[in-house]
Amino acid sequence: MGKRAGERRTGPKCIAIVGPFASGKTTLLEAILARTGAIPKQNAVSSGSTVGDHAPEAKAHAMSIEASVATTEFMGESLTFIDCPGSIEFAFEADAVLAAADLAVVVAEADEKKVPALQLIMRKLDEIGIPRVLFLNKIDKNATGVRDTLKLLQPTSTKPLLLRQIPLRKGEAVVGSIDLALERAYIWRDFAESEIAPIPDDDRAREVEARFSMLETLADHDDELMEQLLEEKDPPKDEIFDDLAADLRDGSVTPVLIGTAEKGNGVLRLLKTIRHDAPDVEATRARLGVKDTGAAIAQVMKTIHTSHGGKLSVARVLSGQVTDGMELHLPEGRGGKVSGIYRMFGSGQTKLPSAGIGETVALGKIDDARTGDTLTSAKGGMAPLVTLEAPQPVTVVALRPKERKDEVKLSAALHKLAEEDPSIGLRHEQDSSETILSGHGEMHLRIIVEKLQGRNNIPVSVEKPRVPYRETIKKAVTQRGRHKKQSGGHGQFGDVVLDIKPLPRGSGFKFSDTITGGVVPKQYIPSVEDGVSDYMKTGPLGFPVVDIHVNLADGSYHDVDSSDMAFQMAARIGMKEGMAQCAPVLLEPIMKVEIFTPNDATARITALIPQRRGQILGYDARPGWEGWDVVEAMMPQSEIGDLIIELRSATAGVASYRASFDHMSELTGRLADEVVNSQGKAA
């Protein structure tokens, strides 16, 4: 035939398990570990005792919040499975995992509401270029025919979904599967190996039709197979298997397997597909551009800070061998010595003397290593194989330790959490002295706070960040400012006349002088500017002042009592008295917002915007995204704080947005009064 899968390898493989929220990924991992004998029995997620989702926060919220790693063996082959969160809020966790994995197992179900979330995942796999298998889960609860389900799911994938099995039914109940390549029926037994059976006569016609459809799809990539089908010849089974493997490995198709992970049904067929058909580390090396230099190379997929063992870097060995005590390097002289090599199994670890090519292990205490880094034994390091780019955060909170003594401790804990989750944003706002934590949804930030308080024992206050309001003026005035003080010996004397006038929006601050005749000596003019600038930090409404021009027009001085400080004080007095007469007004920041939404929710999104004082600029199809729109709007920053909650609620959890500062706009009336009064209370 035209395509061959080549020799089947048995080296260590790394498989990422991905899929929409609550599709059954952690349950599938548990079923795989039970079927391969890595655990004595399969536990339900609700029991809180699964290998995946072992973190206290995951158990408390009954959801995956971080990637869980477990290595097992199947038919003599080492397989590392990494269960990735399904919620869009934790989606970035999968990026570094997928970059160095050999295969993605996409767990999905026949749920129309989850189609947009599945599309996001499939698009990410296309961007990375990683082959994938789709495991159609909860097939026992699927009232829709499997081919209708594929029609529902096919728009999420740019690659053909290739049905590999069809359900075997007894009445309305799914009791097993029919393998279209093997032409064999399997009667499922819960948590046990299936029973092989002949295909029932009543299902024969359905199997023949589905099998021919599978072969037609394979023939799109194999001319010889196409000729055989046209000549109505039945191709040999071993050649069909070769085509299935080849098309999976080069990403031409996405094979679809069926099952019910909750009962362990369909898991053995999935494992055999992974072992026989999935690519291995050689294909991943080629995708990442790894060249053999004799040096050890490891790609960091995840960072973990353990309570007792310190920092662990979960990494895939792509070249050479990593040994305990080996120096691993990053560019610019960074790196560290490996202090322990561990095989991961959920929260457990087994120490190893070394790790060879293809193995996924945790490397101990390489302090400089970050998620996404490429480590190598070659001195000087190497250019990173992967570039990770987190999406723009959509939720922010201000954190403050409840006890001042915890400020340093909080900073250190946040640094570690940001290493574990690079999608977290941290910054310190000088104006408000706030620590701003940004993330990808309400639950994302809630989990971070729970980790701070639970794992690190740091009680924190969580508040809305202050909006960076500004103030300006609408009227020009000329104001004298005089500072005179006599207290024995040298006194203090400064006298200035300031012209204060408004500037166009966005102009900032301008200072000038038109002094003649030396009425204010040149050496004191910078002090006047300093006094003006100092006052502008807090204007008459309580906010920083912008968009004004202050000109030093006149003044006087004293030979003995004048000083830099006296003229600074005079300038502040002049500004304070003058600004109150300049018709001060409040300015609020206006953001340009791009909202990305499935187009069936566009009407709901556009209805939300005016409710938040937003102005719709327009909407159009999102380029390159079938079935999605991008809505553009202007919206006050004060209205964006919890916008993502409404957007996600309107779109089954998949909408996102980007926001960037556009301009400052005047705010008047009741809202302005509330802001000014609030600022007064805060002060």
pLDDT along the chain (683 residues), means of 10: 52 96 97 97 94 92 95 96 96 97 97 93 96 97 89 94 95 93 95 94 94 94 91 91 95 97 97 96 96 94 90 97 97 93 96 97 96 96 93 93 90 94 90 87 95 91 93 97 82 96 95 95 97 96 96 94 95 97 97 96 96 97 92 97 94 94 96 88 57
The CATH topology of domain 293-376 is Elongation Factor Tu (Ef-tu); domain 3 (2.40.30)
Report how many helices (DSSP H) and strands (DSSP E) the chain contains, helices first: 17, 34
Kind and range of the H or E element at 616? strand 615-621
Q: How far apart are CA 14 and CA 24, in angstroms?
A: 19
pLDDT of residue 1: 45
Question: How many whole angstroms from its chain centre is CA 177?
Answer: 37
How many residues are there in the chain? 683
Assign domain 13-285 to its CATH architecture. 3-Layer(aba) Sandwich (3.40)
pLDDT of residue 628: 94
Q: Which structure tokens are listed for 304?
A: 């973990």
Q: Is 96 in a helix, a strand, or coil?
A: helix
Q: Where are the domains of the chain?
A: 13-285, 293-376, 395-463, 471-582, 587-682
Kind and range of the H or E element at 509? strand 509-513
Q: Which structure tokens are listed for 547?
A: 């968009």
Q: Is 60 in a helix, a strand, or coil?
A: helix
In terms of phi and psi (left: phi > 0; alpha: psi -120 to 50; beta: otherwise), the region of 333 is left
Residue 435 near residue 426 (C-beta atoms within 8 A): yes
pLDDT of residue 12: 97
Residue (of 135, 176, 173) closest to 258 by Cα position: 135
Q: How far apart are CA 181 and CA 239, in angstroms?
A: 10
Residue 290 near residue 318 (C-beta atoms within 8 A): yes
Would 293-376 and 471-582 be classified into the same CATH topology?
no
**CA-CA-CA-CA torsion sign (417, 423, 428, 431):** negative
Q: Is 469 in a helix, a strand, or coil?
A: coil
Backbone angles phi and psi of 272, in degrees to 5: -65, -40
CATH 3.30.70.240 fits 587-682, yes or no: yes
CA angle 422, 427, 431 (to 5 degrees): 170
pLDDT of residue 3: 56
Q: How far apart are CA 606 and CA 632, in angstroms?
A: 9
Q: Give the bridge partners for 258, in sequence order.
A: 136
Residue 288 near residue 130 (C-beta atoms within 8 A): no
CA angle 233, 236, 240 (to 5 degrees): 105
DSSP 199: P
Q: How far apart are CA 383 and CA 510, in angstroms?
A: 46
Q: Which CATH superfamily is domain 395-463 in?
A: Elongation Factor G (Translational Gtpase), domain 3 (3.30.70.870)
**Cβ of 580: how many Cβ atoms within 10 Å?**
14
pLDDT of residue 681: 58
In terms of phi and psi (left: phi > 0; alpha: psi -120 to 50; beta: otherwise), the region of 251 is left
Assign domain 471-582 to its CATH architecture. 2-Layer Sandwich (3.30)
Q: Give the bridge partners for 665, in sequence order.
A: 588
